[in-house]
Chains A and B, each alone.
Chain A
Amino acid sequence: MNLEIWPGDWGLPSIDSNCLEVLTYLKMCGAEAELTAANNPLRSPSGHFPVLRHEEAVIGSLDDIILHLKRQNYNPDYALSARQCADSLAFSNLLRDRLEPALWLCWWVDAKNSTELTRKWYASHLRFPLNFYYPSVWEEAARRRLAAVCDFDATPEAVEAYVCRRADECFSSLSEQLGDRHWFLGGSAPTSLDARVFGLLAPLLRAPLPSHRLQGLLKGYPNLVTFVGRVQQKFFVKERDEYEARQKDRRSGEGGGSRADNSADDAEFPHKRRNQVLAGLVAAVVMLTFALTNGIVKIETQDQSEYDMSEMDAD
């Protein structure tokens, strides 16, 4: 099985909610899949990731991927009662109804987050020249989706207040449902609902969002924050530790101040002085040649001596 997903950042194996959900699902079932970092939406049948390639099948939508995995007997929900399955479906729909519009707003429609984080991140991970095209397309799509769902006549501030209020209600319900337990449907093992909640909450919690109103609302529910940490600890501890080690190195490097900057500079450009001198010489020679050939600068030594001779003859 080959899974093509958006690459990870901020201690997570992927920054995209759907990709993260499928990855968590695979880990829960103990399924092995080869992971490929995505950089070209044209390779996906739906234009989005994750994309699962297994034997002859190429599956581009999240629901179809989960269905395919269930057919391969990778199903963490097998031990759930019918009542728990009903609860799982209900809470999935709660997330879709109340949380997803807030996420569209937070990631794409909020101007600060969109320009400083989301668009920049995708532009740096998409291949040339798609990095100039797709971020705008996705931003426009998120805007249209939010406008379609909040289609009452309102200012952007009112829409933001409305979606944030509904997201807060969603967090509150999730927090109540989780309570003190480890997993949302009780029991000793996580289920697909836990994968879905993790997929939606983890990027929101871990990303360095410039405009962090929604993130702040989530942080107000400590058991949800602990839940995200618990899933990371159980399944993605390697990515989290690598990211934390990198952050620590960067912070200690910054502590060295300008010295660290200089040494980094020297490492990147070993023959800086030589290159500067050579560049200066080449530029000077080229400019002089241009000036001489176009007659801007004339060398008149011979003419001067002929003039002196003719002056002496005249005398």
Chain B
Amino acid sequence: MANQCSTMPTALTECLSIEMAASEPWAPDAVLYTPYITEQILLADSAQCVAVQAFLRMCNLEYTVEQRANAENMSPSGRVPLLRCGKFVISEFDPIVAFVTKKGVVLNSLDSKQQADMQAFISLVHNILGNAELYLSWLDGETFETVTAPRYGSFQPWPLGGVLTWLRRRKMAARLQALQWADKSLDAVYAEVDTCCRALSERLGRETYFFGSQPTPLDALVYGHLYTIITTPLQDTRLASIVNGYSNLVRLTNHVDAEYFKGIEIIG
């Protein structure tokens, strides 16, 4: 049954995989597939990859990273990063966190109200920071031409690279249209990012992590997005300067960096 499931990529079987995960321990040869970091990966995907790596390190789980040009196509949901653990193939941050949690690996035992809070803030980060990154990469003309278009189709021969980039842009535009982000102006997007960062900063306060002295998946996700935003050089630096304006968020990013990625070059 498990073998059949791993060859049938749908969201339903991802759910089944997560359910069956409880019975098997973490495979030490687990692999995380990501696109090529220096040449190919884009803002939103990079944030997700770094977030997943931070989470796995926080859980003290062994994994290796393999960079593949077609990581996106390998994934059952079309999104990266992709985790292969034993017989299971899981993609994206939320399902990977659920998968690991089912195996009994708990970072910080939260009560049900704190879990609800955490889920709400994770949705906030996905909705605002995630969509803002997609908007900048695909709908902002300047960033698209200087960063996205050269990177996305770089591993395909011409003209396939151009065609794939064009198709992907249409798909992303449709998704942002469905989420009512396509009609926003760039200033409105930056305002939303600022509001999100303010809410996160308020929630974090002076604590080390969002829920006390132990990290949670929310800390990993916020780290992933903020690290990517701070370290990715774009033509328009407004995004990075908004994030840098919140000192406690920058402090959190530096702390996670030092604690879990000491001296290691982060893949992302």
Given A90-B123, A151-B175, A177-B113: A161 in contact with B203 (beta carbons within 8 A): no
Identify A94's interface contact among B76, B113, B123, B171, CB under 8 A.
Answer: B123
Q: Is the CB of B12 within 8 A of A162?
A: yes
Determine if A283 is an interface residue (Cβ-Cβ < 8 Å). no
| B174: chain A residues within 8 A (beta carbon) | 144, 148
Identify B113's interface contact among A98, A162, A176, CB under 8 A.
Answer: A176
Q: Would you list which residues of chain A between 146 and 164 have a CB under 8 Å from chain B?
A: 146, 148-155, 157-159, 161-162
Closest chain A residue to B125, Cβ basis = A93
| A90: chain B residues within 8 A (beta carbon) | 117, 120-121, 123-124, 199, 203
Determine if B108 is an interface residue (Cβ-Cβ < 8 Å). no
Identify B202's interface contact among A82, A173, A179, CB under 8 A.
Answer: A82
Q: Is the CB of A148 within 8 A of B128?
A: no
Q: How far is the CB of A301 from chain B (nearest CB, A)?
A: 82
User: Which applies to chain B's interface (DSSP): helix, strand, loop or mixed?
Assistant: helix
Given A145-B178, A155-B10, A165-B15: A91 in contact with B120 (beta carbons within 8 A): yes
Q: Is the CB of B9 within 8 A of A153?
A: yes
| A32: chain B residues within 8 A (beta carbon) | none
Closest chain B residue to A141, Cβ basis = B178
Determine if A172 is an interface residue (Cβ-Cβ < 8 Å). yes
Q: Is the CB of B119 within 8 A of A94?
A: yes
Determine if A261 is an interface residue (Cβ-Cβ < 8 Å). no
Q: Is the CB of A158 within 8 A of B123?
A: no
Q: Is the CB of B171 within 8 A of A151?
A: yes
Given A93-B123, A93-B124, A152-B78: A85 in contact with B202 (beta carbons within 8 A): yes
Closest chain B residue to A150, Cβ basis = B11
Q: Is the CB of A97 within 8 A of B115?
A: no
A-B contact count (CB 8 A): 100
Determine if B64 is an interface residue (Cβ-Cβ < 8 Å). no
A159 to B88, CA, bound (A): 20
A90 to B12, CA, bound (A): 27
A159 to B10, CA, bound (A): 9
Determine if A169 is an interface residue (Cβ-Cβ < 8 Å). yes
Q: Would you list which residues of chain B between 37 and 82 have a CB under 8 Å from chain A?
A: 76-78
Determine if B231 is an interface residue (Cβ-Cβ < 8 Å). no
Q: Is the CB of A93 within 8 A of B119?
A: no
Determine if A83 is an interface residue (Cβ-Cβ < 8 Å). yes
Identify A96's interface contact among B115, B127, B171, CB under 8 A.
Answer: B127
Q: Is the CB of A151 within 8 A of B78?
A: yes
Determine if B179 is an interface residue (Cβ-Cβ < 8 Å). yes
Identify B77's interface contact among A82, A97, A152, A169, CB under 8 A.
Answer: A152
Q: Is the CB of A177 within 8 A of B120?
A: yes
| B126: chain A residues within 8 A (beta carbon) | 93, 97
Determine if A35 is an interface residue (Cβ-Cβ < 8 Å). no
Determine if A86 is an interface residue (Cβ-Cβ < 8 Å). yes
Q: Is the CB of B123 within 8 A of A98?
A: yes
A93 to B113, CA, bound (A): 17
| B76: chain A residues within 8 A (beta carbon) | 152
A87 to B124, CA, bound (A): 10
| B205: chain A residues within 8 A (beta carbon) | 83
Q: How far is the CB of A306 from chain B (nearest CB, A)?
A: 88
A20 to B199, CA, bound (A): 26
Determine if B106 is an interface residue (Cβ-Cβ < 8 Å). no
Interface mask (B15-40 → A, CB under 8 Å = 1, otherwise 0): 10000000000000000000000000
Q: How far is the CB of B98 from chain A (nearest CB, A)?
A: 10
Determine if A89 is an interface residue (Cβ-Cβ < 8 Å). yes
**Interface pairs A-B: 9 shortest CB-CB:** A148-B178, A176-B116, A86-B199, A90-B120, A173-B116, A145-B178, A97-B123, A158-B12, A152-B77
Hey, which bits of chain A sit against chain B, CB under 8 A?
A: 82-83, 85-87, 89-91, 93-94, 96-98, 144-146, 148-155, 157-159, 161-162, 165, 169, 172-174, 176-177, 179
